[in-house]
Amino acid sequence: MARVLALVADLIFQAKLAETARQVGVELKMVTSDDALAAEVQAGRPALVVVDLNARREPVEALEKLRGAGEPIRVVAFLSHVQTELEERARAAGCTQVLPRSKFVRELATSLEKAKSEQP
């Protein structure tokens, strides 16, 4: 089963992620900090990492730690469509894809399906 990690603070998005992951058939693990994310990545390489760029912690720092951890990991992040500077910072930190929140929700099942099909 594909493993997906999510650094998401918003409870509504956590519920949406969990329900969609269940429907698609992927294992979802929520984390609340960059340290927890790094520890989960070390415990086993996930097929996908989802990051809320508006999380209470410093999500860009979490992305930078992932990039420094070695093997590239597919990261999809979401934010408000007006946060162009934050989007640029996330891309520079190694984020694979940065989407406005509304597009992320529309494409969530597709992203999880892709992670499922790419899992070794």
Interval 8-30: pLDDT, tens: 888 888 999 999 999 999 999 99
Cα separation of 21 and 109, whole Å?
8
Q: Which pLDDT does position 70 carry in this prediction? A: 65
Interval 43-63: pLDDT, tens: 888 899 998 888 766 777 777
Predicted model pTM: 0.86
Residue closest to 108 by CA, chosen among 12, 17, 10: 17
Q: Which pLDDT does position 30 carry in this prediction? A: 93
Residue 38 near residue 63, CB atoms below 8 Å: no
Structurally, the chain folds into a number of domains equal to 1
Residue 115 near residue 97, CB atoms below 8 Å: no
Helix (H, G, I), strand (E, B) or coil at 73: coil
Helix (H, G, I), strand (E, B) or coil at 112: helix
- Residue 43: CB atoms within 10 Å: 11
Q: Which pLDDT does position 19 carry in this prediction? A: 96
Q: Which CATH number goes with the domain that contains 44? A: 3.40.50.2300
Domain of residue 84 covers 3-118
Q: Residue 4 has what DSSP assignment?
A: E
Residue with tokens 């609340």: 32
